[in-house]
Amino acid sequence: MQKREIDMCHGRILPGFLQMAWPLMLSSVLQLLFNAADVIVVGNFASEHSLAAVGSTTALVNLMTNLFLGLSTGANVLTARFSGSGDAKNTEKAVHTSLMLAIVSGAILTVIGLVMAEQLLRWMQSPPETLALSAEYLRIYFCGMIAMMVYNFGSSILRTKGDTKRPLYYLAAAGVLNVILNLFFVIVWDMDVAGVGLATTISQFVSAGLIVRCLMKESGAFRLSLRKLRIDRGIAKQILQIGIPAGFQGVVFSLSNVVIQSSVNGFGDIVMAGSAAAASVEGFVWVSMNAFSQVALTYMSKNIGAGAYHRINRIAILSCGCAALTGLVFGNLAYLFGETLLGIYDPRPEVIEAGMIRVGLVCCWYFTCGLMDCIVGNIRGMGYAVMPTVVSLLGACGLRILWIFTIFRIPEYHTVFMLFLSYPISWIVTFLVHFVCFLFMRRRFPRRLQAEIPTDGTVADAAV
């Protein structure tokens, strides 16, 4: 086995978990820094409405990209399942089909972003004073969608081998470039939001190019050949069956966040800027927890493919425990240093005060979101895609939207605090329902493995 690969089907689970999770965690943090660098630069060096203009597009960007990024979940599950069962032929087909789907998805998003940016922002009730700047940033940002999709699909393929370090290195290089270009375009060339959008787009193409180069140098079934890039209908159908429900769940979550962002917009520029800064801070906590959800998805898929059903419970318990602990530590640290962190984005006291309302409600309770995401990752890894989507639709998203259109509409409850309170309530309720569903799905897999083949080649029975 190559040094970069991890044996996910034998031996202790936690060391492999942590070995995969920390580079994935840092990769996600660096990916967030693309947007954070945009927000920090425009908050300190651009015009007075620039921070609100860039920050208010986040929910819309997530809404438009999550459906297609969900397909990378399908690519991850399928590639892990095939490689876990030793099916080299279908693993190769899954790799090339996944990359082709990434290119098509990115092209569709680019066209939508270029054509409909201003109209989408109007539907979000973006204030007139930020509309033009937001639309300009959005159009430039969406020119990099093909690169974003290729990087995410490519890194999900490498993750099925346990390789999360090289995507981290590539993203680190692109992240440094992004910060340098941000400062150059905004301070030297005075390009305002167009400069930070262009810097992010260029950086995304750099990271995508590096991940493609990496896959082209792989060996065996994971080797990417440009001549073999095509969509295999059978493989694509299986990716879509898993990926579309996962992407739809992301869309629904983003839709509820768009509704919340629209409500935030109604409180004016100060609250918008504070919320944008707080959302950027809390994003670092979320991706740290979500790393364990992605690792659980890969681990579960690989072990299901190998028939190692006796490891299901252990994978679920460890992943949820790691995610919750990460959320508790990082979330409370974010609250403790909240004023300092928010001041990096915008030093105005009134913006910091507005942002701390969101930080206090979201970050201190973020561990419940980590539990919710992790149990969903385990369920998807077991091969169930539709059920967690339905639960999330009715639980987290439906409850959140219901809260906004009922309790939040009561005059005495029409406050920023009550608006953001919808987040922790929806996470707790949805996690409990998902947990019950996991217990039900677990019963469909035998607890005792009939014939596991350990690493030494001998045959033995293994129980939970």
Q: What is the pLDDT of residues 287-333, one digit of tens each?
A: 899 889 988 988 888 888 888 888 889 999 999 999 999 999 999 99
pLDDT the model gives residue 431: 93
pLDDT tens for each residue of 143-171: 999 999 999 899 888 888 888 888 889 98
Q: How far is CA 453 from the centre of its chain?
A: 35
* Among 138, 227, 178, CA closest to 30: 178
Across-strand partners of 448?
463
Specify the 3-state DSSP secondary structure of 460: strand
Q: Under a CB-based contact definition with an 8 Å cutoff, are residues 453 and 430 in contact?
A: no
Distance CA 80, CA 179 (A): 34
pLDDT tens for each residue of 50-109: 777 777 777 677 777 777 777 888 888 888 888 887 888 888 998 999 999 999 999 999
Across-strand partners of 460?
452
The residue whose two tokens read 């180069």 is 213
Q: Under a CB-based contact definition with an 8 Å cutoff, are residues 118 and 131 in contact?
A: yes
Specify the 3-state DSSP secondary structure of 400: helix
Residues ≥6 apart with Cβ < 8 Å to 60? 120, 121, 124, 138, 258, 261
Residues ≥6 apart with Cβ < 8 Å to 234? 93
Q: Under a CB-based contact definition with an 8 Å cutoff, are residues 358 and 280 in contact?
A: no
Distance CA 116, CA 63 (A): 14
Domain boundaries, the chain: 14-445
What count of residues does the chain have? 464
* Among 60, 51, 121, 128, CA closest to 354: 51
Output the six-digit token pair for 74.
Answer: 């399908």
Of the two residues 3 and 438, the one the predictor is more confident about is 438
Provide the percentage of residues in the chain whose pLDDT is more than 70. 92
Q: What is the mean pLDDT of residues 431-435?
A: 93
* Among 341, 323, 324, CA closest to 279: 341
Measured in Å, how far apart are the chain's first and last C-alpha atoms? Answer: 26
- Hey, CA dihedral for 397, 427, 361, 341, is it positive or negative? negative
- CA triplet 59, 63, 65: central angle to 5 degrees? 115
Specify the 3-state DSSP secondary structure of 463: strand
pLDDT of 405 above 50: yes
Residues ≥6 apart with Cβ < 8 Å to 426? 395, 396, 397, 399, 400, 403
pLDDT of 460 above 70: no
Distance CA 269, CA 274 (A): 9
pLDDT of 457 above 50: no
The residue ranges of DSSP E strands in 185-326, in sequence order, are none
Output the six-digit token pair for 144.
Answer: 């990099």
